[in-house]
């Protein structure tokens, strides 16, 4: 072949490729124009058409649409994908994928989607991404198709199954295929096979598929098999549900423990009825908020560590204010429980209104660091990382506190003053100082609880009010002055509450727990574990 001919062939190949490219782009442009015009109904048709076109660019465009990042520029009607970049959006052209500078929301019209369209897009993207090189994307696509159970995706699944190597993804795909078979009009034998496959999953999603099949199938054999599968799945799930209730109970118990453990010190060992205890928790939560605000504005990369930074600060803030309260008010009121109760209650109102004046009355957003977001699956148990860390954290606080009381000089002084004040004083212990430090320790721990609670509750001035009654309940139930009693009390109340809730409802559940505690206190006035010794006066 002469060099000239080679060049000619090369040129013609290039030209035809360019031509094909142009035709594709024109096609895509038409599809996308349909996507951005008209109402939700027309948009749905356009999405299906775009997905069916098999275009390379279809998946990223549809994904941008689903996440609300597809825009039309007002000035030139160009369809763009906008990714947030500070206050601006960095733009790429939807059709070509070329970057197109940046812009603000005001210059662009967002292409709107609703829930229905998001579902349609997910299924459409699902069949487009079944062949993705990324294993996690393929698996997600298979899961989405399983839930979607649409006979139309059978073809795509068959192709993907033939190409798939990873056994786990292959399994997910065959399950998705089985679910799709059940939605199609396949012969009975195939459907029975599909039911057997789906049944093995034994989770909520497969129960949904089986129930739907049992309801809609016309063939009695398929109907019976699906119903039997659904029943077996239900039994498995019932066992998991009990386990789940125990976990939820422990989780609720750990929150109660965190809120009550500081009170176990101030009320339990010092005998001070501190109605402002909840506000110490609230101060801890607001400290977390302030720390996060500072980190957001000046050191965003530290965000994941924000809670760890907030912990010592919350301890110091709440503990410091606790010491001030003890020195300023409570020490004049020892031995007058009613006066202490009223004074600290007034104080709690003052603290709430002070926070309201400084931070405003609306809720403040405290973000979750990445290691506390999301959940993982343990069998059929859905365990959220946030709750898991709170359980771990409350146990750490508990053990640390026990160690402080047992192994440090401060703990020794505290126990001595609690057990026999005049004798401790005679031995040279400065009892007023120990009182202040004890109260500060109790308040500081409440501050730590606030950091944890900021993750699951509102950070508002009323945060503490919700916990004060529960905290007293836990301490009284567990036995005043006994830390182990507080631990057992909190966990018992948590688990009992969670087992009652599904049957009695949240309102009646709470009432029953309260009645139970009242009856219990009638039988054992000093709680689960009565402490022998004497509290302050």
Residue 87: burial class (beta carbons within 10 Å; 0-12, 13-18, 19+): exposed
110 phi and psi, to 5 degrees?
Answer: -75, 140
CA angle 325, 331, 336 (to 5 degrees): 115
The answer to whether 491 and 257 have CB atoms below 8 angstroms apart is yes
Q: Provide the b/e sequence for 195-210 (b: ≥16 CB within 10 Å).
A: bebbbebbeeebbbbb
Q: Least distance to other proteins from the beta carbon of 167, Å? A: 25
Distance CA 176, CA 194 (A): 10
Considering the complex, state which of residue 274 and residue 454 has its C-beta at the smaller distance from other proteins: 454
Q: Least distance to other proteins from the beta carbon of 69, Å? A: 10
Alpha helices in 271-384 (DSSP H): 277-298, 306-328, 337-359
Of 258, 257, 266, 313, residue with least CA distance to 440: 266
CB atoms within 10 A of CB 510: 15
Considering the complex, state which of residue 420 and residue 462 has its C-beta at the smaller distance from other proteins: 462
Q: Least distance to other proteins from the beta carbon of 317, Å? A: 21
Distance CA 11, CA 6 (A): 9
Q: Least distance to other proteins from the beta carbon of 381, Å? A: 10
Of 284, 305, 283, residue with least CA distance to 294: 305
Q: Least distance to other proteins from the beta carbon of 370, Å? A: 12
Distance CA 341, CA 89 (A): 55
Considering the complex, state which of residue 255 and residue 424 has its C-beta at the smaller distance from other proteins: 255
Considering the complex, state which of residue 57 and residue 364 has its C-beta at the smaller distance from other proteins: 364
Considering the complex, state which of residue 91 and residue 121 has its C-beta at the smaller distance from other proteins: 121
Locate tokens 């996060």: which residue?
Answer: 292
Q: Least distance to other proteins from the beta carbon of 423, Å? A: 44
Considering the complex, state which of residue 111 and residue 405 has its C-beta at the smaller distance from other proteins: 111
Considering the complex, state which of residue 403 and residue 506 has its C-beta at the smaller distance from other proteins: 506
Distance CA 118, CA 134 (A): 22
CB atoms within 10 A of CB 484: 14
The answer to whether 130 and 138 have CB atoms below 8 angstroms apart is yes
Considering the complex, state which of residue 112 and residue 407 has its C-beta at the smaller distance from other proteins: 112
Interacting residues of 449 by C-beta distance below 8 A, sequence separation 6+: 258, 259, 261, 262, 281, 284, 397
Q: Least distance to other proteins from the beta carbon of 204, Å? A: 4
Q: Least distance to other proteins from the beta carbon of 200, Å? A: 17
Considering the complex, state which of residue 45 and residue 353 has its C-beta at the smaller distance from other proteins: 353
CB atoms within 10 A of CB 10: 10
Considering the complex, state which of residue 268 and residue 386 has its C-beta at the smaller distance from other proteins: 386
Q: Least distance to other proteins from the beta carbon of 529, Å? A: 25
Distance CA 420, CA 412 (A): 12
* Residues forming the site for other proteins (CB under 8 A): 40, 67-68, 112, 114-116, 118-119, 122, 147, 204-205, 207-209, 211-212, 215, 241, 244-245, 248, 251-252, 255, 352-353, 356, 361-365, 367-368, 373-375, 382, 384, 386-387, 456-462, 465-466, 498, 501-502, 505-507, 510
The answer to whether 39 and 112 have CB atoms below 8 angstroms apart is no
Taking the CA of residue 141 as centre, how many other CA atoms within 13 Å lie in the half-sphere pointing to its CB? 26
- H/E element, 70: strand 70-73
Taking the CA of residue 386 as centre, how many other CA atoms within 13 Å lie in the half-sphere pointing to its CB? 15
Q: Least distance to other proteins from the beta carbon of 70, Å? A: 13
The answer to whether 513 and 493 have CB atoms below 8 angstroms apart is yes
Considering the complex, state which of residue 67 and residue 104 has its C-beta at the smaller distance from other proteins: 67
Of 406, 398, 356, 422, residue with least CA distance to 483: 398
Considering the complex, state which of residue 250 and residue 436 has its C-beta at the smaller distance from other proteins: 250
**In the structure, how many helices (H) and strands (E) does the chain have?**
19, 7
Q: Least distance to other proteins from the beta carbon of 431, Å? A: 38
Considering the complex, state which of residue 390 and residue 483 has its C-beta at the smaller distance from other proteins: 390
Distance CA 509, CA 501 (A): 5
Q: Least distance to other proteins from the beta carbon of 89, Å? A: 12
Rounded to 10 degrees, what is the CA torsion of 460, 466, 471, 476? 160
Q: Least distance to other proteins from the beta carbon of 94, Å? A: 19
């Amino acid at each position: 072949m002469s060099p000239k001919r080679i060049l000619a062939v090369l040129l013609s190949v290039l030209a035809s490729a360019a031509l094909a490219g142009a035709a594709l782009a024109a096609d895509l442009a038409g599809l996308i124009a349909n996507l951005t015009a008209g109402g939700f109904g027309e948009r749905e048709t356009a999405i299906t058409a775009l997905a069916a076109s098999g275009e390379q660019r279809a998946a990223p465009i549809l994904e941008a649409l689903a996440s609300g990042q597809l825009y039309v520029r007002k000035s030139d009607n160009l369809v763009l994908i906008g990714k947030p970049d500070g206050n601006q959006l960095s733009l790429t052209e939807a059709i070509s994928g070329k970057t197109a500078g940046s812009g603000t929301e005001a210059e662009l019209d967002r292409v709107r989607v609703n829930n229905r369209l998001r579902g349609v897009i997910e299924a459409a993207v699902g069949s487009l991404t079944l062949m993705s090189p990324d294993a996690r994307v393929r698996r997600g696509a298979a899961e989405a198709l399983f839930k979607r159970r649409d006979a139309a995706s059978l073809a795509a699944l068959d192709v993907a199954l033939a190409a798939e190597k990873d056994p786990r993804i292959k399994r997910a795909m065959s399950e998705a295929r089985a679910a799709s078979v059940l939605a199609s009009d396949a012969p009975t034998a195939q459907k029975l096979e599909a039911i057997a496959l789906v049944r093995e999953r034994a989770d909520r999603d497969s129960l949904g598929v089986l129930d739907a099949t049992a309801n809609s199938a016309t063939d009695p054999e398929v109907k019976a098999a699906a119903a039997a599968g659904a029943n077996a799945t239900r039994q498995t799930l019932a066992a998991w549900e009990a386990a789940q209730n125990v976990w939820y109970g422990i989780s609720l118990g750990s929150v109660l423990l965190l809120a009550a453990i500081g009170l176990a010190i101030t009320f339990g060992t010092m005998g001070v009825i501190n109605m402002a205890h909840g506000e110490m928790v609230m101060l801890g939560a607001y400290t977390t908020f302030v720390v996060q605000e500072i980190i957001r504005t000046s050191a965003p990369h530290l965000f994941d560590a924000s809670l760890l930074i907030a912990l010592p600060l919350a301890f110091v803030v709440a503990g410091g204010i606790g010491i001030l309260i003890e020195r300023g008010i409570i020490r004049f009121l020892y031995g007058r429980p009613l006066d202490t109760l009223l004074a600290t209650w007034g104080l709690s109102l003052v603290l709430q209104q002070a926070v309201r004046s400084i931070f405003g009355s609306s809720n403040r957003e405290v973000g979750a660091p990445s290691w506390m977001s999301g959940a993982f699956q343990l069998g059929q148990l859905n365990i959220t990382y946030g709750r898991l860390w709170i359980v771990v954290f409350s146990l750490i606080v508990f053990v640390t506190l026990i160690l402080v009381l047992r192994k440090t000089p401060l703990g020794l002084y505290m126990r001595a003053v609690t057990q026999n004040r005049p004798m401790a004083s005679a031995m040279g212990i400065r009892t007023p100082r120990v009182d202040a430090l004890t109260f500060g320790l109790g308040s500081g721990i409440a501050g730590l609880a606030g950091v944890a609670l900021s993750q699951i509750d509102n950070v508002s001035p009323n945060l503490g009010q919700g916990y004060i009654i529960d905290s007293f309940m836990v301490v009284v139930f567990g036995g005043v002055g006994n830390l182990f009693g507080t631990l057992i009390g909190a966990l018992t109340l948590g688990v009992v509450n969670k087992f009652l809730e599904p049957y009695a409802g949240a309102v009646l559940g709470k009432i029953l727990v309260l009645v139970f505690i009242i009856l219990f206190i009638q039988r054992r006035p000093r709680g689960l574990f009565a402490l022998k010794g004497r509290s302050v006066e």
